[in-house]
Structure 1
Amino acid sequence: MSDSIYDFQMPMSNGEVKEFSDYKGKVLLIVNTASKCGFTPQYDGLQALYKKYKSQGLEILGFPCDQFGHQEPGSDSEIEQFCSLNFNVDFPLFKKSDVNGKNASPLYEFLKTQAPGVLGSKSVKWNFTKFLVNKEGKVMGRYAPKTKPEAIQKDIEALL
């Protein structure tokens, strides 16, 4: 198991592999997303945070996931197009990946270990679970799907 978020690399939706060491010195908000979920309108809030704080060092990383109610059935390019057309998303979207189970991405295994959920539960319960990472790569918090992005704004500002 890795000690640092900066040890990871993940494929982006366009197939390019992103080294997480590129994010050193940035505040990260990592979110598992879905296009057909009741929480999908949170893309608006995520994009607003990204627009407001990107210049101060915030990166929002979207990880589409189809593990919850088959709410992300599309291909990576379809997901990217949906997010761009419907929510003007321009923060990075990664390749669709699992967040739970035997095929869960190593990044999500790390995040869940660093910031367990309610009652110490490791699994991600639904789409739009958010993990906040500070500039040193330490996972500072985990937020429930129903927590709107704007509710995390003060925590983000404290880390910037």
Structure 2
Amino acid sequence: MGVCCTGKSTVGEHFAKAINGKFIDGDDLHPKANVIKMSQGQALNDDDRAPWLERVRDSAFSIEKKNEIGVIVCSALKQTYRDKIREDNNNVVFLHLHASKEIIAQRMQNREGHFMPLSLLDSQFATLEMPSSQEPNTHQIDITGSISDVVNQCVSVSKAYLS
């Protein structure tokens, strides 16, 4: 989880391979209307996110019911969103990929081929509710290192849940 341009998709793919898990990119679960809205530079609201969160939650449910291991990357910016994804899912763990707003903005300016414009970065940080130490099964992952460093952090944290 995390704001845009934290490397969720790239790290998620490598992380899924490292733990022999299924990979699902949450961007692919957005309804068409959400993709259009974001590509026009408009931030999503809670009503826009509701069907998407259901799709993320249902994907996690399917993985769990098939006794599979999976990595679903999504922003999950608010605790209520994370709680929605946890609904009826017993094995969901959130790894919060994070860095400073300046680092994220720099990455966003260098990124090509994504529907999320730089103009929405402020709304992402405004919406973000940093997970607290009280929030269950949620861990902070610093993304300022290399991709392999970040993936290794993810693998290290996940070991407690995969055994």
More relative contact order, 1 or 2 (CA 8 Å, 6+ apart): 2
TM bracket, shorter-chain basis: 0.3 to 0.5
Structure with the higher helix share, 1 or 2: 2
Structure with the higher strand share, 1 or 2: 1
Larger radius of gyration: 2
